[in-house]
Amino acid sequence: MDGELQLAIPRPALDAGPLYALIAADRATFERYLPWVKDTQTAADEQAALTLFNQHFGARTSANLVLVVAGQPAGMISFNGFHDENVWSKLKSEWAD
């Protein structure tokens, strides 16, 4: 996206720890809005979720991407329910650039 902010396909073994730390740091707030947070109790739980997200990406059912700021995972964004093959083609071409 730019030199400061990037979107990346999750790297479960590398991204799980930093992303879990973000969840743990503000768990009470996240739990109010995101029902899955209560099931994410360890970095291993986060790693399993990231692995599943990558399987969904491979199956073209969703794209869950890591927001990377200044080289560090800072959160995630999810795109769900693609019904147009052109969306996947465009997404893949963006990664090739």
45-95 pLDDT, tens digit each = 999 999 999 999 998 888 999 999 999 999 999 988 666 666 655 565 555
Classify domain 5-96 by CATH number.
3.40.630.30
pTM of the model: 0.82
Tell me: pLDDT of 97 over 60. no
Kindly give, in sequence order, each residue whose CB lies less than 8 Å from that of residue 50, ignoring residues fewer than 6 positions away: 10, 11, 12, 15, 16, 19, 64
How many CB atoms within 10 Å of residue 50? Answer: 23
Domain borders along the chain are 5-96
pLDDT digit string, tens, across residues 53-65? 999 999 888 899 9
Query: What pLDDT, on a 0 to 100 scale, did the predictor assign at position 86?
Result: 64
**Token pair of 36 as six digits:** 């899955």
The closest alpha carbon to 62, from 74, 77, 42, 72, belongs to 77
Query: What pLDDT, on a 0 to 100 scale, did the predictor assign at position 82?
Result: 64
How many CB atoms within 10 Å of residue 65? Answer: 19
